[in-house]
Protein backbone atom coordinates (compact mmCIF):
# COMPACT_ATOMS: atom_id res chain seq x y z
CA UNK A 1 0.00 0.00 0.00
CA UNK A 2 2.82 2.38 0.81
CA UNK A 3 4.31 1.74 -2.64
CA UNK A 4 1.01 2.52 -4.39
CA UNK A 5 0.59 5.72 -2.39
CA UNK A 6 4.13 6.78 -3.29
CA UNK A 7 3.45 6.09 -6.99
CA UNK A 8 0.23 8.14 -6.96
CA UNK A 9 2.03 11.01 -5.26
CA UNK A 10 4.77 10.91 -7.89
CA UNK A 11 2.26 10.93 -10.77
CA UNK A 12 0.36 13.87 -9.23
CA UNK A 13 3.60 15.82 -8.81
CA UNK A 14 4.56 15.21 -12.47
CA UNK A 15 1.10 16.38 -13.66
CA UNK A 16 1.26 19.52 -11.54
CA UNK A 17 4.71 20.33 -12.92
CA UNK A 18 3.67 19.82 -16.56
CA UNK A 19 0.67 22.19 -16.29
CA UNK A 20 2.28 24.86 -14.15
CA UNK A 21 2.90 27.19 -17.12
CA UNK A 22 -0.47 26.73 -18.83
CA UNK A 23 -2.97 29.60 -19.03
CA UNK A 24 -6.54 28.42 -18.44
CA UNK A 25 -7.95 31.59 -20.04
CA UNK A 26 -6.02 31.20 -23.31
CA UNK A 27 -3.89 33.84 -25.08
CA UNK A 28 -3.88 37.43 -23.88
CA UNK A 29 -3.90 40.47 -26.21
CA UNK A 30 -0.46 41.86 -26.94
CA UNK A 31 0.38 45.53 -26.41
CA UNK A 32 0.53 47.43 -29.70
CA UNK A 33 3.11 50.22 -30.17
CA UNK A 34 1.88 53.71 -29.26
CA UNK A 35 3.74 55.60 -32.00
CA UNK A 36 4.54 54.49 -35.53
CA UNK A 37 4.62 55.53 -39.16
CA UNK A 38 3.73 53.33 -42.09
CA UNK A 39 1.51 52.83 -45.09
CA UNK A 40 -2.04 51.56 -45.42
CA UNK A 41 -4.52 50.46 -48.03
CA UNK A 42 -8.15 50.91 -47.03
CA UNK A 43 -10.88 49.30 -49.10
CA UNK A 44 -14.34 50.88 -48.81
CA UNK A 45 -16.86 48.15 -49.54
CA UNK A 46 -19.68 50.63 -50.18
CA UNK A 47 -17.83 52.43 -52.99
CA UNK A 48 -15.45 49.70 -54.14
CA UNK A 49 -12.48 52.06 -53.84
CA UNK A 50 -8.99 51.50 -52.45
CA UNK A 51 -7.27 54.43 -50.73
CA UNK A 52 -3.50 54.21 -50.31
CA UNK A 53 -1.94 56.49 -47.73
CA UNK A 54 1.07 57.25 -45.59
CA UNK A 55 0.00 57.22 -41.92
CA UNK A 56 1.55 58.72 -38.80
CA UNK A 57 -0.03 57.37 -35.61
CA UNK A 58 0.39 58.79 -32.10
CA UNK A 59 -1.73 57.07 -29.47
CA UNK A 60 -0.09 58.98 -26.61
CA UNK A 61 -1.79 62.20 -27.74
CA UNK A 62 -4.64 60.58 -29.68
CA UNK A 63 -3.79 61.97 -33.10
CA UNK A 64 -3.42 60.56 -36.60
CA UNK A 65 -2.16 62.08 -39.83
CA UNK A 66 -3.15 60.49 -43.16
CA UNK A 67 -1.55 61.56 -46.44
CA UNK A 68 -3.24 60.02 -49.48
CA UNK A 69 -0.80 58.62 -52.02
CA UNK A 70 -1.04 59.34 -55.73
CA UNK A 71 -0.69 56.19 -57.83
CA UNK A 72 -0.51 57.34 -61.41
CA UNK A 73 -2.73 59.90 -63.09
CA UNK A 74 -6.36 59.57 -62.03
CA UNK A 75 -8.58 61.96 -64.04
CA UNK A 76 -10.77 64.26 -61.98
CA UNK A 77 -9.59 62.96 -58.60
CA UNK A 78 -8.40 65.10 -55.69
CA UNK A 79 -5.95 63.94 -53.06
CA UNK A 80 -6.07 65.08 -49.46
CA UNK A 81 -4.14 65.21 -46.23
CA UNK A 82 -6.11 64.54 -43.05
CA UNK A 83 -5.08 65.53 -39.53
CA UNK A 84 -7.21 63.94 -36.79
CA UNK A 85 -6.85 65.53 -33.34
CA UNK A 86 -9.14 63.50 -31.11
CA UNK A 87 -8.32 65.29 -27.86
CA UNK A 88 -9.44 68.53 -29.49
CA UNK A 89 -12.32 66.77 -31.28
CA UNK A 90 -11.38 68.28 -34.63
CA UNK A 91 -10.25 67.06 -38.05
CA UNK A 92 -8.51 69.06 -40.77
CA UNK A 93 -8.86 68.14 -44.44
CA UNK A 94 -6.24 69.75 -46.70
CA UNK A 95 -6.29 69.52 -50.50
CA UNK A 96 -2.75 68.59 -51.49
CA UNK A 97 -2.45 70.83 -54.58
CA UNK A 98 -4.34 74.01 -53.65
CA UNK A 99 -3.84 73.71 -49.85
CA UNK A 100 -7.51 74.56 -49.35
CA UNK A 101 -8.53 73.51 -45.85
CA UNK A 102 -11.68 72.32 -44.12
CA UNK A 103 -12.07 72.12 -40.35
CA UNK A 104 -14.64 69.62 -39.12
CA UNK A 105 -15.83 68.43 -35.73
CA UNK A 106 -14.84 64.89 -34.82
CA UNK A 107 -17.91 63.09 -33.51
CA UNK A 108 -16.35 59.63 -33.39
CA UNK A 109 -14.52 58.57 -30.23
CA UNK A 110 -10.81 57.76 -30.31
CA UNK A 111 -10.35 54.25 -31.70
CA UNK A 112 -6.71 53.19 -31.36
CA UNK A 113 -4.92 50.66 -33.51
CA UNK A 114 -4.61 48.04 -30.80
CA UNK A 115 -6.30 44.98 -29.32
CA UNK A 116 -8.76 45.90 -26.54
CA UNK A 117 -8.35 43.94 -23.31
CA UNK A 118 -11.85 42.49 -23.60
CA UNK A 119 -11.28 41.16 -27.13
CA UNK A 120 -12.06 37.56 -28.08
CA UNK A 121 -9.21 35.39 -29.34
CA UNK A 122 -10.13 33.87 -32.72
CA UNK A 123 -7.08 32.20 -34.26
CA UNK A 124 -3.34 32.29 -34.86
CA UNK A 125 -1.47 31.37 -38.03
CA UNK A 126 1.45 32.14 -40.32
CA UNK A 127 1.25 34.68 -43.13
CA UNK A 128 3.39 33.78 -46.12
CA UNK A 129 5.08 30.55 -47.07
CA UNK A 130 8.13 28.42 -46.21
CA UNK A 131 11.24 30.42 -45.25
CA UNK A 132 9.22 33.64 -45.36
CA UNK A 133 6.57 33.61 -42.66
CA UNK A 134 5.17 35.96 -40.02
CA UNK A 135 3.23 34.61 -37.05
CA UNK A 136 0.02 36.54 -36.34
CA UNK A 137 -3.00 36.36 -34.05
CA UNK A 138 -6.58 37.24 -34.90
CA UNK A 139 -8.89 38.95 -32.41
CA UNK A 140 -12.44 40.29 -32.52
CA UNK A 141 -15.10 42.02 -30.45
CA UNK A 142 -17.36 38.96 -30.69
CA UNK A 143 -19.22 38.25 -27.46
CA UNK A 144 -21.38 35.22 -26.51
CA UNK A 145 -24.56 37.33 -26.54
CA UNK A 146 -23.82 38.60 -30.07
CA UNK A 147 -23.55 36.19 -32.95
CA UNK A 148 -21.41 38.29 -35.26
CA UNK A 149 -18.42 40.54 -34.61
CA UNK A 150 -18.20 44.16 -35.78
CA UNK A 151 -14.38 44.33 -35.64
CA UNK A 152 -11.66 41.83 -36.49
CA UNK A 153 -7.99 42.69 -36.04
CA UNK A 154 -4.90 40.77 -37.12
CA UNK A 155 -1.67 41.64 -35.30
CA UNK A 156 1.85 40.19 -35.36
CA UNK A 157 2.60 38.12 -32.30
CA UNK A 158 6.21 39.21 -31.84
CA UNK A 159 5.90 43.01 -31.79
CA UNK A 160 2.10 43.47 -32.00
CA UNK A 161 2.16 45.44 -35.24
CA UNK A 162 -1.22 45.85 -36.98
CA UNK A 163 -1.58 43.75 -40.13
CA UNK A 164 -5.26 44.12 -40.98
CA UNK A 165 -8.47 45.46 -39.45
CA UNK A 166 -11.98 44.85 -40.74
CA UNK A 167 -15.16 46.60 -39.62
CA UNK A 168 -18.73 45.46 -40.23
CA UNK A 169 -22.12 47.09 -39.73
CA UNK A 170 -25.53 45.45 -40.06
CA UNK A 171 -23.80 42.19 -41.00
CA UNK A 172 -22.00 43.80 -43.96
CA UNK A 173 -18.30 44.66 -44.18
CA UNK A 174 -17.76 48.42 -44.35
CA UNK A 175 -13.97 48.85 -44.51
CA UNK A 176 -10.89 46.65 -44.63
CA UNK A 177 -7.47 48.16 -43.90
CA UNK A 178 -4.07 46.58 -44.51
CA UNK A 179 -0.91 47.90 -42.83
CA UNK A 180 2.69 47.61 -44.03
CA UNK A 181 6.15 49.27 -43.98
CA UNK A 182 5.69 50.19 -40.31
CA UNK A 183 8.50 51.98 -38.48
CA UNK A 184 8.44 52.85 -34.78
CA UNK A 185 8.30 56.47 -33.65
CA UNK A 186 7.32 59.80 -35.23
CA UNK A 187 10.04 61.25 -37.47
CA UNK A 188 8.54 64.76 -37.57
CA UNK A 189 5.98 65.72 -34.87
CA UNK A 190 5.18 68.96 -36.71
CA UNK A 191 3.10 67.04 -39.26
CA UNK A 192 0.26 67.08 -36.71
CA UNK A 193 0.19 70.89 -36.86
CA UNK A 194 -2.28 72.16 -39.49
CA UNK A 195 -0.77 74.42 -42.19
CA UNK A 196 -1.32 78.18 -42.24
CA UNK A 197 -4.13 77.81 -44.79
CA UNK A 198 -6.25 76.17 -42.09
CA UNK A 199 -6.51 79.47 -40.24
CA UNK A 200 -9.31 80.34 -42.67
CA UNK A 201 -10.72 76.82 -42.93
CA UNK A 202 -14.28 76.18 -44.06
CA UNK A 203 -16.53 73.91 -41.92
CA UNK A 204 -17.50 71.84 -44.97
CA UNK A 205 -15.94 68.56 -46.11
CA UNK A 206 -14.46 68.75 -49.60
CA UNK A 207 -15.48 66.14 -52.17
CA UNK A 208 -12.89 63.73 -53.53
CA UNK A 209 -13.88 64.00 -57.18
CA UNK A 210 -13.86 67.25 -59.16
Those residues with Cβ within 8 angstroms of residue 112's Cβ, 6 or more apart along the chain or in another chain: 32, 59, 62
Domain ranges of the chain: 35-198
C-alpha distances out from residue 81 to 74, 78, 105, Å = 17, 10, 16
Cβ pair 192, 65 in contact under 8 A: yes
Please name which of 68, 107, 66 lies closest in space to residue 90, comparing C-alpha atoms: 107
**Helices (runs of H) and strands (runs of E) counted in the chain:** 1, 11
Nearest to 64 by CA among 194, 196, 192: 192
Give the residue from 136, 102, 108 showing the smallest Cα distance to 122: 136
Q: What is the pLDDT of residue 5?
A: 40
Could you list the pLDDT tens digit for every one of the 210 residues in the chain?
A: 434 343 333 333 333 333 333 344 679 999 999 999 999 999 999 889 899 999 999 999 999 999 999 876 667 788 999 999 999 999 999 999 999 999 999 999 999 999 999 999 999 999 999 989 999 999 999 987 666 889 999 999 999 999 999 999 887 889 999 999 999 999 999 999 999 999 999 999 999 876
For the four alpha carbons of 149, 158, 24 and 126, in that order, the dihedral sign comes to positive
pLDDT at 2: 39
pLDDT of residue 209: 76
Query: What CATH number has the domain spanning 35-198?
Result: 2.50.20.10
Predicted pLDDT at 8: 33
Quickly count: other Cβ atoms within 10 Å of residue 168's Cβ. Answer: 17
Amino acid sequence: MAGIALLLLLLFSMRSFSTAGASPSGPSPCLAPAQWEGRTVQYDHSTGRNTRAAVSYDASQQRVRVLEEKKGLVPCKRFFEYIYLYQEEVMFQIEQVTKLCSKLTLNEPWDPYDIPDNSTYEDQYYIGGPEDQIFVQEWSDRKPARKYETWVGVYTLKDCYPVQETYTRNYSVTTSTRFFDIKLGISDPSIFTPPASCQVAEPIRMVKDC
